[in-house]
Every structure is written in C-alpha cells, then in structure tokens.
Homo-oligomer: A and B are copies of this chain.
Amino acid sequence: MPRPLVVQKFGGSSVADADRIRRVARRIAREREVGSSLVVVVSAMGDTTDELLALATAITDEPDPRELDMLLATGEHQSATLVSMALHALGVKAISLTGPQAGITTDGRYGRARIANVDPVRIREEIERGNVVIVAGFQGQSADAVGRAEMTTLGRGGSDTTAVALAAALAAERCQIFTDVRGIYTADPRIVRDARQLPVIGYEEMLELAHQGAQVMQVRAVELGWVNAVVIEVLSSFEDAPGTLIKEDLLVEQRNKVRGLAHDRNVAKVTVVAVPDRPGVARTLFAPLAEAGINVDMIVQNVGHGGATDLSFTVPRVELAKAKKVLEPIVRELGARELTTDASVAKVSIVGAGLHNAPGYAARMFGTLADAGVNIEMISTSEVRITCMIAEEALPKALDALHGAFELARPDPVDAKAAGQVAG
C-alpha cells in the first residue's frame, strides 16, 4: 500500500538561519518516521527576498522584471538545498528541486506569474526512490516569446501557492502550511486578548479573511485549494500544536454565523470632492487606476446635489502616492473641486458563510460599533462578509467590541465534530 502523501510548506521565518533549518529538518524527519511520503516547499531564508530586492534597487530604480525574477528565485534555491542537506545530516534521504525541475510551469508574467501547469513526474520518481522532495517555492518555468525556458516568480507569498498546487497535482492527503502563528484565529490575537484559534474554517470564509487582511495565507493559495478541494492545515513551525484546517465545511449551516474578524491597516481613503454628476465619470477615474495596477476596493458615491457629487473609495495605503499621481490630472480635467486623501483609516470585517441570509448581523455590527463610540465612514458587503471603514486609532476598540458582541471567544460546539471528520 502506498504511503499517504503530505505536502508541507515552511515560510521564510521557519528557515531563517542554520539552527532553524535544522529544526525544520527534525520536524520533517519526525513526519517521515510516521510513514508519510513527503514533499516540502520552502520559501527563501528570513529576509533574503527583501535583501535581494534592496540590492537590485541599489543598482537601478526599475529593475528589469525578467532579471529580477531570476535574481529572486535564487533565494528559494538556496533554502531548498540547505533543508535537503540538513535532512541528509539526520540520515533522511532527500533531494532538492527547483520549481522548473519540479515540473511547475507558469503563464510567464514576470513577478506575478500564475501556475499554468504542474507535471510532477520527477517528484513522483524521487518519492519512489524514497526521497523527501524539497521544492523551491515561489517560482516556475515559463517559455519566452520564442519558446526558451525562463524563470518566473509567483509574487509575494507565492510559496503557499506552490504548496497547494503540488498538493492538488499529487492528490496529497493534506497540505500543511507552517507559519509563525498557530493557525487561524477569530481575530488577531495580538490585538484581541481572548481571540480563539479555530479548529476548522471553510474555504470561502478563509478567502474573505485573507482578502480582508489576515496575512496568514496568500489569497491565491486558498482559491487554488478551494477549486481543487485540497485540505490545508495552517500550523506553527515553532511548537507542536494542532493547527487550523481549511476545508469544505459541511457543518457550516449549524454554526455560529460569524466565524471571525479581519482587519486591514493597509488602506487609504480617496475622495473626489464635487465631481460633476454625469455618466462616465467613474470609468474616467477608475480605468487609469486599474491600468496602473492599483486595486480600488470600497466605493461610495453620495447622492448628488447641484449637478455635483462626492466620490470616495479606498486603495492600498502603500499605493496612495501612486494613486494621487494618476488621479490629479484627471480630477482637474473633470472639473472636480479637489482630491482629498486620508491614510489614517482601517477596515474591520465580520466574516461568516451564513451572513448573507441573516439580515440581523449587519444591524448588530453597526450597533456594536456605535455603542463603542466608533464612527463608520464606509460600508461594503459580500456574500460572507460585512466590512466597515473606521479611523485607524479606533481599530483595537472596534475589534474588541465585535469579538464580544458575536461571542467569538466561546468555542463553537460544532467544531469538535468538524475536526473529527478529517481525522477519521
């Protein structure tokens, strides 16, 4: 009978130096003893990626995307070989593979490539030979315009995506994402003292949490897991404790509807004041932002009076300067009165799969924030989420109040049952 296959992913902080790499190797060796076949995806050591980026920008303000991808990919090559060596030192057979060697091909967009295909023929061969296979995350091979092999990277957090894609292609029993936190929480435990770790969460809910600022997992990795029904476990690489399972949650109807809170400080509010209220204005403003690669999120247009209206929206805070540069000439052309911005805002969200069928939750959220003296500046909703923009300084107060109001500290009686589904 073939051994069960497990994919494990270790992030940069888990492999930041020789000591941590040896610790990761011991962890892998223990799992190997249990009897699993293992594919291990690693990120670059510690701050390597940022250091390489700094080196590139010390040389030129605009590094060529192709060269930058080849440069950054070396970080994961290094950590993969070192983890493999550390396993050898423990007497565990192992081999490291680059993304291309692992059969990962991408669509060829430098710096933000998407995985186009995984052909894990070599991984399977190495597993057959009894090797633990260490794969350099964050990268793949693409063909350039004339068909020659080039290195591409998947963008920030891309190693999560590598791990989930390999788990899908190999039909792995589970994909374990080792991080510096224990799992997914009802709220950020650094802010909300009685935040509780969730034993299980559905893909859709996790996706919303990730979208709304929970930085534990890359959004694309969660999407890919959802589409391929990969059971993902988020757990700590520093302690032996059960993590959080991300999986199809069959018991979702029986649960507390609000599963967790998310928040995001990387947000800024832009308001175009007194813009003429005529068709096409929104496109005139937003098309150039999209072209510049700036994501616009919440959009609110006030009721117009006197032929003019105010239009507010949010952009990532790190993109605010770029957004202003794009918008200023357009605002003048449109004849709007002015462009104002506010970078001291934050978003807070309640997330839960049942929210869209339960009208009482929005009212309870708004009421809770009002009772806590927190002013709501903008609101947006999705099927599984209600988000309010508030002043950044009010964020801890808002999270605490919402965590209490939705009783998130209380263990969900359904959770034990859900965890049992997977273990069984």
Contact = CB atoms under 8 A, between A and B. Distances in A.
A64 interface: yes
A57 to B, nearest CB: 9
Contacts of A61: 89
Contacts of A125: 146
A3 to B, nearest CB: 22
A249 B276 CA distance: 83
Interface stretch (A78-86, A290-298, A306-314): A78-86
A48 to B, nearest CB: 10
Interface string A73-108: 110011011101110110000011010010000000
A18 B71 contact: no
A148 interface: yes
Contacts of A59: 18, 21-22, 82, 85-86, 89
Nearest to A79: B71
Interface string A37-77: 00000000000000010011011110110111011011001
Interface in A101-125: 101, 122, 125
Contacts of A82: 55-56, 59, 67, 71
Interface residues of A, number: 38
A149 interface: yes
Contacts of A95: 66-67
Given A96-B67, A96-B70, A60 B78 contact: no
A78 B63 contact: no
Contacts of A88: 60, 63-64, 67
Given A84-B64, A85-B63, A85-B64, A18 B58 contact: yes
A83 to B, nearest CB: 9
Contacts of A98: 70
A59 to B, nearest CB: 5
A96 B148 CA distance: 13
10 contacts: A18-B58, A18-B59, A21-B59, A60-B85, A63-B85, A63-B88, A66-B95, A70-B98, A74-B78, A101-B149
Given A61-B89, A71-B78, 5 more contacts: A18-B55, A55-B78, A55-B82, A71-B82, A77-B77
7 smallest beta-carbon distances between A and B, as pairs: A60-B89, A74-B74, A18-B58, A71-B81, A67-B81, A70-B81, A59-B86
Interface of A: 18, 21-22, 52, 55-56, 58-61, 63-64, 66-68, 70-71, 73-74, 77-78, 80-82, 84-86, 88-89, 95-96, 98, 101, 122, 125, 146, 148-149
